[in-house]
Structure 1
Amino acid sequence: MTTYKSVFWLNILSFLLVLALILYTKSFGPSAGVLFSPPIAPKAISIGLLTHTFQLLCAVPAIVCAFSFALLRTIQPRRKENVFILCSALVTGGFLLNEIFRIHIFLLVQAGVHKLITSFVFASVAVAYGFAFKRQIKSTPYMLLLSGMGLLFFAIAIDSLKLRGDGLPILLEGVPKLFSELNVALYFCYVCYGEVLRSLNRKVDSSVNY
């Protein structure tokens, strides 16, 4: 019964948020219908294929970490590692939102905020995250995470150079970016899987000892 109540209130809250967004768009935008406008269909399936693949990969860490945190909080709510998984979900979720809604482009166009500034903010968040959970990260296969971050920063550096051309410059940015998220997704899948297993084993051991 508790599950149904939670789902009911989640639906109510989501409906109210959607309603507020519709009213806001209708007041300040051309039409509330633009909220449900379908994305522009490409002329060929290959157009943007790897870009969409990158965006799908961006969703993996956020979803996996959020779901794992929900499990960990149920299994052993007081473990310190739970905070690490929660913050990982928030950081990767923020990166996902930026990639889907192109927040850095919106800030550049609407507010004149240069992409280097937003990149610096994202880098600062990543460094703060690394320092805050240095001990937890050291106990994981962190080379996967470091390689992913390194490839991402390389792609950002290439983008900032504004190289001319539609071939090599795009590949120099796109390929490292794609593999960066692949490595990051694999890293968090491995970490979350391990944390859930350890939490379950500790709970079983404590039950047996008790």
Structure 2
Amino acid sequence: MENKSTSLPFFRSWLSKSKQHFNSIPVLIWLNAITIVILSLLSIYAKLKSKGAGIDNLFSDPFYFGIFYLGWLTSVSEFMWCTAIAISLFTAVLLPPANRRFQIFLCASALLMLLLYIDDRFRLTLILCAFFGTCKLVKLSVYLLYGLLLITYGRGFRRTISRTPYIPLLVSFCLFGFSSAIDIAPISSRGIHAMLEDGTKLIGLINLTIYFWWICQQEIKKNIEQKL
């Protein structure tokens, strides 16, 4: 009885504190709820349609297929995407309203990188190829759209970009364009094709991530020095 009497107040205290913490971050409540609903719907679908193996594939690790290094460099590329996006968004939120122009630049950069990352991670272009059948035409159309977005982005924020060491950003854009061109080029060797397409994209992502890390660091330092 004593254990129950001591554990019950502890549980109530923990529950109250948990509620308080989650209420202080409302987005977590929604994200948890949405994720649970989606996973529940997938589970029901898998049960009704006998698609358990398909659900298992969604959570399978690359090592499951017997090649321990499968997708290593792709994972590094995805890590670089996420790092650049996270740094940009975090800095945009952290900066004061006086830096509104730079905040807009960082948010626009993060949204553009997020679009490219989602396509790269979930293979949206390849899904469109499967739907329309003409893969080369679909890829060319998508890459032209991304090219127009990058040009619009560069023109819209040229003044902000010109105040930064922008050459790494320009190099990353050029490497992304080269990678896209190699993707639709008729290269028969898988190794050469992968190195030219994915290798150049990885180098571009390194430049992109370090660029945003550096300019965000400098902007935060400048604001701290102004306050001091």
TM-score per shorter chain, which class? 0.7 to 0.9
% identical aligned pairs: 22
Match of 1:6 among 7, 24, 29: 24
User: By how many angstroms is 1:24 displaced?
Assistant: 5.4
Query: What are the within-5 Å matches in structure 2 for residues 1-210 of structure 1?
Result: 4-7=22-25, 9-22=26-39, 25=42, 26=44, 30=51, 33=55, 37-41=59-63, 42-72=65-95, 76-79=96-99, 80-112=101-133, 114-202=138-226, 204=227
Cα contact 1:62–1:96 (8 A) shared by 2 = no
SS in 1 for 2:98: coil
Q: What CA distance in whole angstroms lies between the structure 1 residues aligned with 2:151 and 2:178?
A: 16
Moved more, 25-34 or 85-94: 25-34
Letter in 1 for 2:163: S
SS in 2 for 1:162: coil
Q: What CA distance in whole angstroms lies between the structure 2 residues aligned with 1:78 and 1:93?
A: 25
SS in 1 for 2:114: helix
Residue 8 of structure 2 corresponds to: none
Q: What CA distance in whole angstroms lies between the structure 1 residues aligned with 2:104 and 2:21?
A: 24
Moved more, 36-45 or 133-142: 36-45
Segments of structure 2 that go 5 or more residues without pairing to the other structure are 1-16
Letter in 1 for 2:154: G
Does the C-alpha gap of structure 1 residues 67 and 167 become closer, same or farther in structure 2, counting only changes over 3 Å?
same
Letter in 1 for 2:60: P
SS in 1 for 2:69: coil
Segments of structure 1 that go 5 or more residues without pairing to the other structure are 206-210
Q: What CA distance in whole angstroms lies between the structure 2 residues aligned with 1:129 and 1:137?
A: 10
- Structure with the bigger RCO (C-alpha within 8 Å, sep 6+) is 1
Q: What CA distance in whole angstroms lies between the structure 1 residues aligned with 2:174 and 2:146?
A: 14
Does the C-alpha gap of structure 1 residues 3 and 35 become closer, same or farther in structure 2, counting only changes over 3 Å?
farther
Q: RMSD of the TM alignment (CA)?
A: 2.5
Letter in 1 for 2:105: F
Compare the two structures and name the one with the higher helix fraction: 2
Q: What CA distance in whole angstroms lies between the structure 1 residues aligned with 2:34 and 2:219?
A: 33
SS in 2 for 1:44: coil
Cα offsets for 1:148-186 (capped at 9, x unmatched): 111111111111113112222222222211101111111
Moved more, 176-185 or 121-130: 121-130
Does the C-alpha gap of structure 1 residues 168 and 38 become closer, same or farther in structure 2, counting only changes over 3 Å?
same
Q: What CA distance in whole angstroms lies between the structure 2 residues aligned with 1:92 and 1:184?
A: 10
